[in-house]
Amino acid sequence: MLNNPWQRHKDLISIHDLTAEEVEALFQLAANVKARPDRYRTALAGQTLAMIFEKSSTRTRVSFEVGMYQLGGLATFLSSRDIQIGRGEPIADTARVLSRYVNGIMARTFAHATVTDLAAHATIPVINGLTDLLHPCQALTDYFTMREVFGHTRGLTLAYVGDGNNMAHSLMFGGPKVGANVRIATPEGYRPRPEIVELAQADARAAGTTVELFSRPEEAVRDAHVVYTDVWASMGQEAEAAQRLQAFAGYQVTPELMELADKDAVFMHCLPAHRGEEVAAAVADGPRSVIFDEAENRLHVQKAIMLMLMNR
């Protein structure tokens, strides 16, 4: 790919690593890929993406696997039961071996260090498909979808209600890159990690946007253009489900909460959604919901990510 604006990046680990111009270039490519997929059907011909999954997935697996196929390449699924990384082989060895076989690695893991270690030792691109700390592919997709809905993102406000988890972290990193303000409303004890907040707020000051934390959902949602939530207990937190159900009482996105947002506001969720918990069914399945547009756009944005990193 000539004049690739991502040329300085080998990997995609965090949106924090990207510039606003690089995110804009990704969105332009994703829009082109979505509008004219036929133009890119041989762009990664002969290339293979290794997909490492410690966590099961619907959207991540299918979108990357189908995306590679539509770009002319091959994706190979590797669960922790299938490869030696789950049986004590050093991550560095796995990275070096896969670098001899394939052209890129996508990893969906628990520990963030697994992805950063893969990237440190691989000689091929590594894509963070999700860790307990960050979910950059999803957040980039969310802001791409936001841009489709409103025609732009600059000056808009995204309000996130719920757990200060990997989604909250990546949305905070993404806002300053697209000129959007981000508000995070969480219960005490479930706030985003302070080091992530500090980095995101520094990015926001440089971009002329804001990243703010709230305790009450109503404060965050008022006049917001996007209302966003995620499950209260993520994969690996099943033992905490009952405790979290109690802690997050009052943080459900209801039709009444949506009424506090801007009159043209939309509802977003990274899915899977637990209707009756973090979101009311009337919201998730209502006219303001764009959750399935987000899900579709995972395919287009991730195809653009693979093109940026692997088509050189």
Does position 85 have pLDDT exceeding 80, yes or no?
A: no
Q: What is the pLDDT of residue 273?
A: 97
If you average pLDDT over residues 92-120, what whole number do you get? 97
Q: What is the pLDDT of residue 28?
A: 98
- 43 CB neighbour count, 10 Å cutoff: 18
Q: What is the pLDDT of residue 236?
A: 66
Share of the chain above pLDDT 90, in %: 90
- Catalytically annotated residues: 108, 135, 138, 230, 270, 298
CATH 3.40.50.1370 is right for the domain spanning 137-292: yes
Q: What is the pLDDT of residue 6?
A: 94
Q: What is the pLDDT of residue 178?
A: 98
Q: What is the pLDDT of residue 233?
A: 81
Does position 121 have pLDDT exceeding 70, yes or no?
A: yes
Does position 2 have pLDDT exceeding 70, yes or no?
A: no
**Nearest-CA neighbor of 146 among 302, 304, 299, 291?**
291
Q: What is the pLDDT of residue 235?
A: 64
| Domain boundaries defined on the chain | 15-134+296-310, 137-292
Token look-up 């506090």 returns 260
If you average pLDDT over residues 15-43, what whole number do you get? 98
- Cβ atoms of residues 83 and 54 within 8 Å: no
**Sheet with 74-79, edge to edge strand ranges:** 74-79, 48-53, 104-108, 126-130
pTM: 0.96
Q: What is the pLDDT of residue 71?
A: 98
- Both structure tokens of 87: 């049986």
Per the prediction, the chain carries an average pLDDT of 95
Asked if domains 15-134+296-310 and 137-292 share a fold, the reply is: yes
- Distance in Å from the first CA to the final CA of the chain: 5
Q: What is the pLDDT of residue 234?
A: 74
What is the per-residue pLDDT across 216-266, written as a single tens digit (0 to 9) for each?
999 999 999 999 999 998 766 677 778 899 999 999 999 999 999 999 999
Does position 86 have pLDDT exceeding 70, yes or no?
A: no
Q: What is the CA radius of gyration of the chain?
A: 19
What is the pLDDT confidence band of residue 128, given thresholds at 50, 70 and 90?
very high
Q: What is the pLDDT of residue 201?
A: 98
Give the CA diameter of the chain: 55
In sequence order, what are the residues at sequence separation of 6 or more whose Cβ sits closer than 8 angstroms to the Cβ of residue 59?
Answer: 271, 295, 298
What is the per-residue pLDDT across 130-179, written as a single tens digit (0 to 9) for each?
999 999 999 999 999 999 999 999 999 999 999 999 999 999 999 999 99
Does position 1 have pLDDT exceeding 90, yes or no?
A: no
Token look-up 């049986």 returns 87
The CATH number corresponding to 15-134+296-310 among 3.40.50.1370, 3.40.50.1100, 3.40.50.2300, 3.20.20.70 equals: 3.40.50.1370
- Both structure tokens of 50: 């290794």
Does position 294 have pLDDT exceeding 60, yes or no?
A: yes
Q: How many CA atoms lie less than 13 Å away from 17 in the CB half-sphere?
A: 14
Go through the chain and tell me how many residues it has: 312
